Amino acid sequence: MLHPWLETELAALLATLPEPPTQSKAERRAAWERWQAGLTIKFTLPDRVPPLRMLLVLDNLSGHKTPALVLWLVAHGVMPLYTPLSGSWLNMAESIQRILVRRALAGQTPTSPNDIIDWLEATARGWNADPTPFEWAGKRLLRRQRSRQRHHALGGSGGQARRPVHRRPTALDEWRRSCQVTH
């Protein structure tokens, strides 16, 4: 199913992009195949592909993978890329993406999508040469633990108070107290 609103939004966005550079048929196909190279599941490219104009990152909803949508995207020069299925992979992907984009594009003014692709790939190659290890239980976890120790939970709601909230004893509390055996 092709969502009409998605088609309208993407068409409007594509209209704002500069015209793609003139490329031979082989260069256009190479650009598409370069972005499909690392994919686990690849869709079949048509014989004649338009210039690659945009990368569109979508989640893995079945509606985002329908032939109608994928064919429309490809016909308009949009390469669909799908987020990983696992939440931990998604967190890792977002972390790496944020770092790569910051390192590759900070202070840059791209003149074409190829500039962005080249800068991101060069940054990724540099990172892979000397990768930064991730510590999932690092400083942020310690800050959260200290914060929990300084605050008091409010009835399982997720809310917290800086000091304990005193409540009046209920009949159940009185009954529990009377049932306790003192030695």
**140-153 pLDDT tens trace:** 788 888 877 777 77
By the 8 A CB rule, do 124 and 100 touch? yes
Q: What residue spans define the domains of the chain?
A: 4-88+102-129
- Kindly state the percentage of the chain with pLDDT values over 90: 19
**Residue 136 Rama label (left phi>0; alpha psi -120 to 50; beta):** alpha
- Enumerate the β-bridge partners of residue 55: 79
User: Could you tell me the pTM of the whole model?
Assistant: 0.49
Q: What letter would DSSP give residue 162?
A: S
